[in-house]
Chains A and B, each alone.
Chain A
Amino acid sequence: MISNLDHHLDEAARAVGSIDDLDALRALGVELLGKTSVVTEARRALGGLDPDQRKDVGQRLNEVRNELERLVSERRTTLEAVARSVTLEAERLDLTELDGNKRLGHRHVVTQTWERLEDLFVGMGYTVAEGPEIEDEWHNFGALNFPLGHPARDMYDTLYVDHGVPGSTLLRTHTSPVQIRVMEDGEPPFYSIMPGRVFRSDTADSTHMPVFHQIEGLVVDRGITFGDLAGTLEAFTRAYFGHDFTSRLRPSYFPFTEPSAEFDIQRPDGTWLELGGCGMVHPSVLSAGGVDPEEWSGFAFGFGLDRLALMRHGIDDLRELFRNDLRFLGQF
């Protein structure tokens, strides 16, 4: 009896090993372990054996049955793994075929600089103010301490537009008129930057455009000093350009600030670069904005925004920024 079982096990093991199809394996499993299988028949026949024999045969029968289950299960695992890998292989993709046709759009390189500056000054406690690009003569000049006929108006090549009284409306030559609008529209203290588009009657070349961008800063509060201006521009220089940059102020002249200064930065190699103008807000300008210069004091600064974009990316021609060639814009 036992030798029959052993023989059956050998045959069954051979049969399982030769199956390479999951459905056939399932059928073989039923044949080996189902109701009509040899082992099931043998269990049924156990009752007719004498007790001594029943114990030995029963034990062996359990072992054979377990072994058969193990063989079938093992074979199933193997065949399933083969089937999975066949399926996966059928789905194989060359991902390099699919790479490279999806991209995000790009912010204009001027916008990137603009937003970087906004973020920096917002972090220093400033708000961002804006004003009209077509301005009136008062905000662009008069309120900024350029009286009519003042020769300093000649420092700006102003473009006028046909609107209202001739000479009354112009394309703002700087972002400084927004200083006046900020003061007119609110109450001090003011901590604001004013980025924006400005215009000059300049022929386009590698360093000039009739349209370009500036950023202006205005701080008006109690007890603001020239030292505060120097410290603010130094903090800006280090934050924007890096800790190995430094700044200095040199006396200069602008009608709307006094004392006035040029604002230079020093590169790590020791060379200086003139960045912009600044100074203490002139008392007449505070008055024009409805702010009492005896109670409040303030400083203002301004510089070219486009040039910072050029510097950051090593672009050597201002005109590139406004040609809108996607081969250029897509680089940033």
Chain B
Amino acid sequence: MKVLLSWLQEFAPVYGDPVEIGDQLSGLGLAVEEMTAVGGGLDGVVVARVVDLRPHPDADRIQLVDVDDGSGKPLQICCGAFNMSVGDLVPLATLGTTMLNGMEISRRKMRGEWSNGMLCAASEIGLGEDEDGIMLLEGAIDPGTALVEALELHPDVLYDLEVNPNRPDAMSVIGVARDLAAHQGVGFAVPAPSGADKGQDVASRMAVEVLDNDLCGRFVGRVVDGIQVGPSPRWLVNRLTALGMRPINNVVDASNYVMLELGQPNHTYDLAAVEGAALRVRRAFDGETIETLDGVVRTLTTADGVIADGTDTAIGIAGIMGGASTEVSNGTKSILLEMAWWDPMAIAASSRRLGLRSEASARFERGTDPEIAELAMCRFAELLADSGATLAPGIIDVRGHLPVRPPVRVRVERVNALLGTNLSRDEVSDLLGSIGFVSQLAFGDSPSADLEVTVPSFRPDSATEIDLVEEVARIHGYDRIVPTLPRSTITGALSPYQQDRRRVRDAMVGLGLDEVMPVPFLAPGDLERAGLPADGITVTNPLVAEESVMRASLRPGILKTLAYNASHRLQGLGLFEIGHVYRCPDNEQPLPDEREYLAVALGGRDAGDAVAVWSALADALDARRYELVADGPAGLHATRTARIEVVGSVVGYVGEVDPSALVAYGIAERVGWLEVDLETLLAIPHGRRSYKRVSRYPSSDIDLAFEVDEGTPAGLVGACLRKAAGDLLADLSLFDVFRGPPVSEGRRSLAFTLRFQADNRTLTDAEVAAVREICIDTVQSTLPATLRG
């Protein structure tokens, strides 16, 4: 919503520096997006008459224009526009003028021809957006007249305000003036329009019937006679132009002016063009068509409301746009002026369905003031009075269902408790009163009585106590509420899960891996290319197809990241991501199965490096009791992948990405891979080991090498040794794996070091020998393994 300071001042004597007023408006919740000085900066710009037009001898894109600047002598100007004719009146920036953009006009040669000033386009002098060429002035003006005088311009300030959806009243000049007056503590009044009724009563000239009382809460109509369509007075044109509306003619301009000033959209029908001298407000029929004022034929449904004429033909779309058939034209003598209250939700739905938003619909869908029509009609007539228009006696006023607005009980102690203020009942009552909310005492005049507040008709947003608490705070001033700090009554902390997640991140970063954050949207086919099932949850209304599938795995996003970086010659990257994946649930649960995963990709490195990342992670989380079990899930390397089991639960996979998935993503290097379902892993008890005393007695090491076939995992041999060695085992490690002669084909030698230690004595050679025998026997009897000599 744009407003001019001078316009606000017609309703309240607001004062102060324009910047300060802007801050006050922002402080009231009417955020100033832009503040512009208008109507000034035109010193030196005069009206000139075009007396001759000649081609420039040496340039195609400029012409020579001789103008009369009032001196009587023709003045040559070089001009790049060609839209004027001899006799036209145009704005001339004379020599020495400083333009709005800071440029100073001087006498200069253009391609060898003198230019003694500059003819101006409207935008160059802050008078509109029209870029067609030089601004052409209408009416009889003596050349040499200062432009400000000719156009009746006055220095003014234009504010462009951002109005929140809950403030329909601020979509009008008076709404903004009311708030500002309340803030400044100055009076606010909307003057009663002058003018007397004359002519034939409306009752005999038009009948109105409202068939849908929910759609139309009120329909008010009056007839205005003596219409003479012509241009509007200059001051009115200036205001409409400043607020961004294009002047059309005096009738349309007055209609727009009333809407901007009072917030009541309205419609004018050429009375003679309304068939049957009757209007019916009803829902449209499915498939009903109407040509609207913008010349477009629109097809309606029962979701739209229409105003139909006496033949039941639609002549307007309710609350959105009028029809072409009854449009006011140059021959119009009398008009029917309509001011209605439409159901906001109905207009919003209709406007959205039609894809048609107008200044009117924007106001109706926020909720207009149902009680302003009488005043607004008189104001409309007053604006046209100088051209001879008069209001006919009588008023059509059909009421449907208007929202019931019961008074709102306001507890002053509640106001203070929520705001942290110490306002008295009178102060609360005065603050509300300053913006039109009238307070009474709820029960007699007891000192503790609550306020019973009548909400004004222009504030449909205010219906409950909390709404009025906000109004009190707003007018009192948010900046006057003293900042305090609540004393938190709980202990601030990250949850155990959140702490562990940080530990995971610390471990990854410590291993030199970089965190990436691909978007969780995938393109159709991304999961399949990664060798995964195509079971991603789909987006119903994606912006682009590339973002239409929600990831069911972190893998596609990371593979894309590797490919992207490879295309910039960055290979061998170690990356990790912690993020959600989304899957269709097995059961009928209301939301998808959403889990947080860790994924690690090691470009140019293999499964062994991935296992090292996992074991470091397990160490970081103190989750060391895990097993790696050879497995080849979809999309991972069939012979170089293991599933990770912790206390019997599968928590993820470690190994390498399937080479065919790498080909599909255009990745030319091996990729070591680890993925962990963090929620499952971290739910398994980990950490918090109890203390084990370090033995003070010496330890003894033995080495054992077994020859086993390739199908027997080293982990299994190690687990078997661990079990056999029992409590005396202090440490076990696989220190050598050997293939080749003398070990036979298809088998390999696994060499382990076992360290034995007791915590209460030095072990004897005999004890160590005994446990060594047990280890050898156990491995040889339970696994296809033989001790190497």
Contact = CB atoms under 8 A, between A and B. Distances in A.
B533 interface: no
Interface in A211-229: 211, 219, 221, 223-228
A325 B103 CA distance: 45
B564 A126 contact: no
A260 B417 contact: no
Contacts of A168: 590
A122 interface: yes
Interface string A142-180: 000000010110110001111110101101000000000
Interface stretch (A5-13, A41-49, A63-71, A248-256): A248-256
A125 interface: yes
B694 interface: no
Interface stretch (A20-28, A52-60, A81-89, A102-110): A102-110
A169 B466 contact: no
A126 B512 contact: no
Given A106-B514, A126-B488, A252-B164, A136 B590 contact: yes
Interface in B583-622: 584, 590-592, 594
Contact of B490 (A110, A127, A161, A203): A127
A105 B27 contact: no
A189 interface: yes
A326 interface: yes
Contacts of A329: 514-516
A155 B165 contact: yes
Nearest to A261: B478
A118 B494 contact: yes
B344 interface: yes
B420 interface: yes
B512 A103 contact: yes
A280 interface: yes
A34 interface: no
A231 interface: yes
A209 B517 CA distance: 13
A307 interface: no
Contacts of A132: 580, 591, 594
Interface in B448-505: 464, 466-467, 469-470, 473-474, 478-479, 481-495, 498, 502, 505
Interface stretch (B57-65, B150-158, B535-543, B629-637): B535-543
Contact of B564 (A136, A221, A324): A324
Contact of A162 (B474, B493, B518, B538): B538
Contacts of A326: 514, 565, 570, 573
Contacts of A164: 590
A190 to B, nearest CB: 8
B517 A110 contact: yes
A219 B489 CA distance: 10
B494 A122 contact: yes
Contact of A128 (B473, B498, B514): B498
A151 B489 contact: no
Of A121, A168, A226, A262, the most chain B CB neighbours within 10 A belong to A226
A191 B488 CA distance: 7
A134 B513 CA distance: 29
Given A136-B590, A161-B550, A297-B417, A210 B519 contact: yes
B538 A161 contact: yes
Contact of A201 (B482, B495, B541, B591): B541
Interface in B507-561: 508-521, 537-543, 547, 550, 561
12 contacts: A105-B515, A111-B517, A125-B491, A127-B493, A133-B594, A155-B165, A202-B543, A211-B521, A221-B486, A252-B164, A324-B518, A326-B565
Interface of B: 26-29, 31, 164-167, 344-345, 348-349, 352, 365-366, 417-421, 464, 466-467, 469-470, 473-474, 478-479, 481-495, 498, 502, 505, 508-521, 537-543, 547, 550, 561, 564-565, 568, 570, 573-574, 576, 580, 582, 584, 590-592, 594
